Amino acid sequence: MKKNIYVRFSLLIYLVCASVIISACGSAKMEPTDVELLSAIENALVNVTKRSKPAIVSIVAFRQAEDGKIRRQEGSGFIFRKDGYILTNEHVIRDAKTIRVQLFDGSEFDAALDDRIDRNTDIAVLKIDAKEDLPVLPLANSDEVQVGQFAIAIGNPFQLDYTVTIGTVSGKGRSFLPDIGLVRYQDFIQTDAWINIGNSGGPLLNIHGEVIGVNSLIRRPDNTPATAAVRAGAGFAISSNLVEKIGTQLIANGRIIRGFLGIGMREVPDGIRVRSVLKNMPAHLAGLQRGDIIVKYNGQQVKSTDEFKMWIADSPVGQNSKITVLRNGHERMFNVTIAEMPPQQAGRLVETDDSVSWRRLGLTVRKLEKGDFERYTYLTEKDQGVIVERVQENSLIPQGTLIVAVNGQKINTVQELEALLQKQQQELEELILDVKSSHGSEKITMQLKP
């Protein structure tokens, strides 16, 4: 009996071992060779490139130099929407008088800009009028991008159309450009995929052909100008999530309206140290002081300057926010009413204004747009009037105020306000304005300048 049990047990062990050996041999036969594996990777990258190229464009911007000559700036872009909207870098088309866009099939178009630019993030939107729907590149969720994954850059360096380079994602969440006058919002993806000046505005893709970023700049260790043919340094692409948010707003509203606090700041271990406070701006009016350490914004813990700047920028104008600071070792909370970012900090060119409203009222206005109802807490879709875009120092009316009527006369357009002022500028010394702002609806008497 024991012998039979032993024989059966030995037979079972033999069958198990044989099964494992056969399975292992079968698996070994199914494993690809090194060449087959490399060929599969190669084919995947080639296919991504072939699928993506038709949605990538070459951009040439023509601008007038100080010497009067016309200079050309070349870059890249990609089709964001099938009806002809294209995303690129703001610096590619800055100060351009005319812009030409060439598609993969060789067709060329004059592109309309219509001031759909955002210098704070280096993003611009162009529009071309094509007769048919255009191929587009989908955008990936850049929050899901992993350091070490493949990165594919396609662009037009050295006037060499549709150059493809491949590397990896070297880092995420990079920010290093200083706020010098212009407030910058940064979320760069670092890559070792070779890029150059002509790549600016072009896409950085994943292996699925999705845009993970827009190639924007090269940073060299010595910070020398990019003048030589051979350049060393890491490439940086604006994250696709930031690109999608800004691009969508520019298409919908033509501009980006950001919240503004009015402080200089520096990141410290405990939070954000206030380095300076602009006079008559929200932080100053609320009581914040130089040296305060901001630790919470609307109850959320403040961890980095980049995150905090984004929170402020995304806050609707007129929103009442709570800021908690450490002052002399004690926590204090302040109620702050968010203002609109002034044109200078938003990178918008402030030109000499010869309008009647600027000369006599000390302000400039613009038409009321659809996006204003979303960004200004005190406006509704039923409101009509003109928005105050810029004011002279110590104005009674803050930027972002809606002017509804002047001396009881409804104002719906910039032209109506200018015509009224032009007509009455010799007859009146003051005007009563019906306005709507974060202070509510009120009447303000404005003294007219001669």
Instruction: Catalogue the active-site residues.
Output: 91, 122, 200
Element (H, E) at 72: strand 70-81
Q: Shortest CA distance to 120 belongs to which of 201, 190, 181?
A: 181
Rounded to whole angstroms, how far apart are CA atoms 145 and 141?
7
Rounded to whole angstroms, how far apart are CA atoms 19 and 14?
8
Rounded to whole angstroms, how far apart are CA atoms 192 and 171?
10
Cα 147 vs. chain centroid, distance in angstroms? 22
For 376, which DSSP code? B
Residues 6+ apart with CB under 8 A from 449: 359, 360, 361, 362
Rounded to whole angstroms, how far apart are CA atoms 433 and 442?
8
Classify residue 99 by burial, with Cβ atoms within 10 Å: 0-12, 13-18, 19+.
Answer: buried
| Strand duo 188-191 + 203-205: pairing | unpaired
What number of H helices and E strands is found in the chain?
A: 9, 27
Residues 6+ apart with CB under 8 A from 17: none
